[in-house]
Amino acid sequence: MKDHKKIKESVKEKYASIAKSTDNCCCCSNKETDYSAFNENYSEVNGYFKDADLNLGCGLPTEHASIKKGDAVLDLGSGAGNDCFIAREIVGDDGKVVGLDFTDEMINKANKNLQSSSYKNMEFVKGDIENIPLKENSFNVVISNCVLNLVPDKEKAFSEIHRTLKKGGHFCVSDIVLKGDLPEEIRNTAMLYAGCVSGALQKEEYLNIIKEKGFKNIEIKKERQLQVPDKIFLEYISEEELNRFKALGTGIFSITVLGEK
């Protein structure tokens, strides 16, 4: 899909709706569909803040991000603040955590959660991942959870990650990638893009972009195959097309990858 404006509006509309909903929604879900297989359980992680967990992730990037006490951490696509609260537990009073999101509704929800805490060194900023409104060389660690697959221009996204990291800093993101091709009908569907599937790149292409943007010591910390229910695909393609798709052996994977500046 080449209409980046349409993609962004679809994503913004979807996640604004999730933020306003009182229901616990999950990444890649709406009222009709459920991609709960993408999620990982946060409830036993230190710093877990239940009201900030909308089940929007596909991994646990903070588990592998090597965040240290006193670090400055940026969370891209921070939503209601789930990963930010986890990171804040690690960095302590001497560190700093900034969450970035481009939906007003998510920023408002995150700030409401922040007001319920006693933290003074965490903030939420509205902004686009392709043009992060923060200074260069500002963060020790950048994290993101099931968000970069929603960004139309991933090269810009990783360029911005590189720009905002301090020298010697690193990123750790959990994201959706593919092995094999999606049917055109799925790849061209904006709603499935907002649901994390059709916006996913081939795994090797994704890793090549990271390398091309100047990162080194790139390492996949965790990888697992995801199972998307047939009923979701059948909203966009026929049963015959679905059977052909399955025969191709395409895999949808969650990976948690780390790279150093």
What is the pLDDT at residue 189?
54
Residue indicated by tokens 């994290």: 143
pLDDT in tens, 132-147: 999 999 999 999 999 9
pLDDT in tens, 76-107: 999 999 999 999 999 999 999 999 999 999 99
Cβ–Cβ < 8 Å for 258, 230: no
Cβ–Cβ < 8 Å for 82, 54: yes
CA angle 215, 143, 151 (to 5 degrees): 80
The domain segmentation of the chain, as residue ranges, is 4-260
Q: Look up the CATH number of domain 4-260.
A: 3.40.50.150
Give the pairing of strands 251-260 and 165-179.
antiparallel
| Confidence class for position 201, pLDDT limits 50, 70, 90 | confident
pTM of this structure: 0.86
